[in-house]
Amino acid sequence: MAEKSTIARPYAQAAFDLAQEENDLKTWSDMLQLCAMIVNDEKVSRLIGNPEVSKATLVELILNVAGDRLNTVGRNFIRVLAGNGRLNVLSEIVSLYEQHRADAEQRVDAEVISAFPMSDAQQQALAASLKKKLGREVRLTASIDESLIGGAIVRAGDLVIDGSISGHLNKLAQRLIA
List pLDDT tens digits, range 26-35.
Answer: 999 999 999 9
- Identify the CA nearest to 37 among candidates 49, 25, 47, 45: 45
d(CA 15, CA 73): 9
Q: Are strands 159-162 and 152-156 parallel, antiparallel or unpaired?
A: antiparallel
- At residue 129, does pLDDT exceed 90? yes
- pLDDT tens readout for residues 130-150: 999 999 999 999 999 999 999
pLDDT value at position 2?
63
pLDDT for residue 92? 97
Q: Which structural domains are found in the chain, ordered by start?
A: 4-102 (1.10.520.20), 107-177 (no CATH)
- Return the pLDDT at 149: 93
What percentage of the chain exceeds 70 in pLDDT?
Answer: 99
Mean pLDDT of the 69-74 span: 97
